[in-house]
Structure 1
């Protein structure tokens, strides 16, 4: 137990010093000290309660999910019936009242139409998503089931959380907290964000991109009055498009959505030098865009973002490269924001900001100072008690305590974790827990001496027997910490992170390091008595 060969001592010291040095950039940052560039390294991120930042509560528009599913089903039904051999013709299509209904041109095709459409009723899952009924002998009515809609809303909200996380990461912020609250709400907390308006702008835009053909047969007078021909819809121009107040009639179905994009970057038009957004489609999207542009050379198509037309250029020639440009009077900043939104994907549910709070950094600084004072006072009291009670062994425990705090900070910095106010509470708790192991060891050594064992045997048995209890206690604490991390959120997870890291470092410093130091002292001095 007390045998520490040279290679082992060098390894333990190397690990201890390297991990402790990793804490220096974080300590310097928290203290306001500027380190030379050569000494800069990873730092512990501060949570919202310490660094300040933005807290936003978003609510999803579930009605939009229902409308989108209805439109997707209409397109699927038209495609399925058109692909049938022979084609099944329909007319008088309606999507009123949240249901899809249509008339069969030939009522005798009813059974065949039912057979063609039945596979669409369950979608991709096991839950029945649509109900199909027949009215008046030849009108088919498709209605969304409650279970199917609930599943779709849940899937859309989960996908929206992922999109929000990607968008915020594009901003260069660190460790955002993004959590679902209930069925239709999402909490977003971003520490250290200096420009919350930019965050609100990114989260408030759905970034639903569509390419739809302009209805060339629509009368300008009808478009101005908001009247669309059957199969078309009226879409207003965006405010910053240069055509604010005007509208465009576009074909409702048959376009291409932006969910097939693989990339989007802000760039500049080669001819006008204006900021534009360059986009790239995946293989399927590129094929569909090539088909759309080839079949409609000379016709106009509308680029629609979140229900507003950005521009409506012509297909001058087939676009076969799978890439295109979006222009619309952008600034460099707005083009870059749109590229971020398109890269991260469209929000599956439109979001509305229903609550916003800003946490100032002053409160965070006060919390850090208060936490540091609490930890400092606690540490001094613990150090004084340990040295007064255990003498030399108390000094070893004190040095181990210092290394323990440094190693916790160093590991958190290397793991790029976040320190929250409860995390500081975890630090304070770690101070007490770190010396607890040494108390067990030292008391066990005292017992062994009272039994008459020699110094070396007493120390060896003391470490050996106490280590069992220490490991058992830390295993149970580790399980509790993991459960807190898995099922907790926000500040609770911050506390769990510090707790889990502190368990490993406290065992390493309080047991392994102190044992190495005691073994070195015993080999060098060979005392016949110890005062403990």
Structure 2
């Protein structure tokens, strides 16, 4: 008998639709006004802080819906935006700079649904509101740091090869190396040229080599600086709890940061501007730290305080920078003491191996450097940043280190976790400056949502009415499939972590509704043709679906390829449109072909029919 659907297919269709409906349902619950508290440097978020927060809110007379400790952050849900602002002000005043207090919007998803991984769709900046920053990387700092790296690398490698030099110094954006005799100069020139293919080394002046970076090397350094800053910026944005931030490159030295849902732009700017880096240096054991504290700092050394404010005398030569760190994880050693395991890239492994070879048994310090913006500007009109240094760890080198090593001697597991997080976050290559800031208010976002929803609803209603009038009973089947298609698009968008709904994305949904009904029109018209050719109703249904399938498949594949190209080469709104279009193509194929045929077979299949209402 024609048009029979096996039981397993019914079960599969029901499960797919049910799962998509389940994960689309969080979008019905809306969002709460919220205040989020996360730890700043040297602070801890725990249950004691929750008690402090509750006491402060009660003192200020602010009603809350819930206060919860989640993922080492405190999330306070409030009834309205005025309570949100009052809570932020009260908590900022009480907690000071030890904690980051930021306003946000939190999904009001039921706990049981949240435990299943159900979350609402992520809305883009044009729908949800938020803040847009255009940031510029300070390339002068990038070049200065690269020259210092080259200076330190020359000193280390020449000492390793036992080539004696008088002085290595930076002069006018080049590195000068001075020698005592011509023979040593020629030996050093041969060695350095073979070791540094991308650096130009020439003899200039009396017994002096001058090293400068090639244009290719300079371009590579600038490109790497922007890419590294983008990577680290994503880690910084996590402190704000933004569901789906957009962080991407614009031009040679600029970065675009969009934070949907963020209302506290001042706090966002504070976190994004907190430029930081890491350095590994040797502790100076040859001089007395007390003399340095009294003002007699030896040449080549520097006094830097640790987290407890105790001065540490360190050598100025940088053994390794945090940009070479690939991964860092906290744990315990064989004695049950806290440790941090670090993995470096190949260049960092080579530097660490050379730097530690002759320093076994000596202490090495990890220095955290944070750049703070001043009110002054340089000749180019850009903000001047001042570094603030702090020693976060001092550990003894037990053996020659390479690409993988461990830091021990830490006071507590928390210190190990904090240091691992700091190392894993990496180091911003250079300070960044916000050159443009735009705030999209929630009223504009809501207006865009309302207009987009009106377009979807009106388009959906008109299509439903047309199908019902024109195709009668089969039109009802098509309308069920269209409704399921819309639910499935929302469900899939909610399940995919990287999918964000934007205003162009709404246009993509409207387009896929039209494409889904177009597939049903092709099938139903083909069934009508088969009936006009005097085929039986069962044969007409069977041949109608089979004949239309190849046409529908070809049309959707070509559209999917076009959407995939848009996703690959496009940015921002174009990506939003292409994502919803690709998801819509897949769901419309499922609903227009598999779902409708399952329903049609269930209602009309396997029966003796004299006539079809189509």
Q: What is the TM-score of this pair, normalised by structure 1?
A: 0.81
The answer as to 2:457 corresponding to 1:376 is yes
SS in 1 for 2:430: coil
For residue 255 of structure 1, report the CA deviation from its aligned partner: 4.3
For residue 288 of structure 1, report the CA deviation from its aligned partner: 6.1
Name 1:269's counterpart in structure 2: none
Kept in 2, the 8 Å contact 1:89–1:106? The answer is no
Kept in 2, the 8 Å contact 1:250–1:302? The answer is no
Name 1:97's counterpart in structure 2: 172
The answer as to 2:50 corresponding to 1:49 is no
**For the residues of structure 1 that align with 2:393 and 2:24, how far apart are their CA atoms?**
56
Structure 1 residues 12 and 195: alpha-carbon distance in aligned structure 2, compared to 1, 3 A threshold: same
**For the residues of structure 1 that align with 2:315 and 2:293, how far apart are their CA atoms?**
13
SS in 2 for 1:59: strand
Name 1:83's counterpart in structure 2: 160
Name 1:126's counterpart in structure 2: none
Kept in 1, the 8 Å contact 2:304–2:390? The answer is no
Name 1:498's counterpart in structure 2: 580
Structure 1 residues 475 and 282: alpha-carbon distance in aligned structure 2, compared to 1, 3 A threshold: closer
**For the residues of structure 2 that align with 1:365 and 1:260, how far apart are their CA atoms?**
43
Of 100, 112, 116, 2:187 maps to 112
For residue 216 of structure 1, report the CA deviation from its aligned partner: 8.0
1:141-180 maps to which residues of 2 (within 5 A)?
A: 141-169=210-238, 171-180=240-249
How well do the aligned residues superpose, as a CA RMSD in angstroms? 3.9
SS in 1 for 2:605: helix
Kept in 2, the 8 Å contact 1:50–1:367? The answer is yes
Name 1:514's counterpart in structure 2: 596
**Gaps in structure 2 of 5+ consecutive residues:** 33-105, 331-337, 371-386, 400-404
For residue 220 of structure 1, report the CA deviation from its aligned partner: 11
Kept in 2, the 8 Å contact 1:59–1:352? The answer is yes
Of 478, 481, 496, 1:400 maps to 481
Name 1:270's counterpart in structure 2: none
**For the residues of structure 1 that align with 2:199 and 2:357, how far apart are their CA atoms?**
33
Of 179, 192, 203, 1:134 maps to 203
SS in 1 for 2:18: helix
**Gaps in structure 1 of 5+ consecutive residues:** 123-128, 266-276
Name 2:605's counterpart in structure 1: 523
Kept in 1, the 8 Å contact 2:193–2:199? The answer is no
**For the residues of structure 1 that align with 2:313 and 2:258, how far apart are their CA atoms?**
40
For residue 184 of structure 1, report the CA deviation from its aligned partner: 0.7
Structure 1 residues 16 and 517: alpha-carbon distance in aligned structure 2, compared to 1, 3 A threshold: same
The answer as to 2:550 corresponding to 1:468 is yes
Name 1:323's counterpart in structure 2: 407
Name 1:360's counterpart in structure 2: 441
Name 1:252's counterpart in structure 2: 316
Name 1:348's counterpart in structure 2: 429
**For the residues of structure 1 that align with 2:357 and 2:202, how far apart are their CA atoms?**
38
**For the residues of structure 2 that align with 1:308 and 1:196, how far apart are their CA atoms?**
24
TM-superposition CA deviations, 1:108-135 (whole Å, max 9, x none): 223211221112322xxxxxx2111112
Name 2:467's counterpart in structure 1: 386
**For the residues of structure 1 that align with 2:178 and 2:327, how far apart are their CA atoms?**
39
Name 2:10's counterpart in structure 1: 9
**For the residues of structure 2 that align with 1:353 and 1:34, how far apart are their CA atoms?**
33
SS in 1 for 2:494: helix
TM-superposition CA deviations, 1:29-54 (whole Å, max 9, x none): 37999664334442221122222222
Of 494, 501, 504, 1:413 maps to 494
Kept in 2, the 8 Å contact 1:237–1:308? The answer is no
1:471-490 maps to which residues of 2 (within 5 A)?
A: 471-490=553-572
Structure 1 residues 526 and 287: alpha-carbon distance in aligned structure 2, compared to 1, 3 A threshold: farther
Kept in 2, the 8 Å contact 1:290–1:319? The answer is no
TM-superposition CA deviations, 1:467-516 (whole Å, max 9, x none): 11111100011001111111111221111111111111111111111112
TM-superposition CA deviations, 1:320-368 (whole Å, max 9, x none): 99436999xxxx9xx9999755431001232111112222222222222
**For the residues of structure 1 that align with 2:277 and 2:467, how far apart are their CA atoms?**
63
SS in 1 for 2:610: coil
Structure 1 residues 145 and 370: alpha-carbon distance in aligned structure 2, compared to 1, 3 A threshold: same
SS in 1 for 2:279: strand
423-432 or 23-32, larger mean C-alpha shift: 23-32
For residue 249 of structure 1, report the CA deviation from its aligned partner: 8.7
For residue 318 of structure 1, report the CA deviation from its aligned partner: 7.5
Name 2:86's counterpart in structure 1: none
**For the residues of structure 2 that align with 1:469 and 1:302, how far apart are their CA atoms?**
64
TM-superposition CA deviations, 1:111-167 (whole Å, max 9, x none): 211221112322xxxxxx211111234111111111210111112222222222233
**For the residues of structure 2 that align with 1:347 and 1:454, how far apart are their CA atoms?**
72
Structure 1 residues 42 and 357: alpha-carbon distance in aligned structure 2, compared to 1, 3 A threshold: same
Structure 1 residues 304 and 319: alpha-carbon distance in aligned structure 2, compared to 1, 3 A threshold: farther
**For the residues of structure 2 that align with 1:73 and 1:228, how far apart are their CA atoms?**
25
Higher relative contact order (CA 8 A, sep 6+): 1
Kept in 2, the 8 Å contact 1:256–1:289? The answer is no
1:233-252 maps to which residues of 2 (within 5 A)?
A: 251-252=315-316
Kept in 1, the 8 Å contact 2:289–2:312? The answer is no
SS in 2 for 1:189: strand
**For the residues of structure 2 that align with 1:194 and 1:339, how far apart are their CA atoms?**
30
- Matched residue pairs, number? 498
SS in 2 for 1:136: coil
TM-superposition CA deviations, 1:195-220 (whole Å, max 9, x none): 44443333323321235456987999
For residue 413 of structure 1, report the CA deviation from its aligned partner: 1.5
Kept in 2, the 8 Å contact 1:61–1:350? The answer is yes
Kept in 2, the 8 Å contact 1:289–1:322? The answer is no
388-397 or 99-108, larger mean C-alpha shift: 99-108
**For the residues of structure 2 that align with 1:493 and 1:73, how far apart are their CA atoms?**
41
For residue 394 of structure 1, report the CA deviation from its aligned partner: 0.7
Name 2:95's counterpart in structure 1: none
For residue 250 of structure 1, report the CA deviation from its aligned partner: 5.9
Structure 1 residues 186 and 9: alpha-carbon distance in aligned structure 2, compared to 1, 3 A threshold: same
**For the residues of structure 1 that align with 2:193 and 2:353, how far apart are their CA atoms?**
30
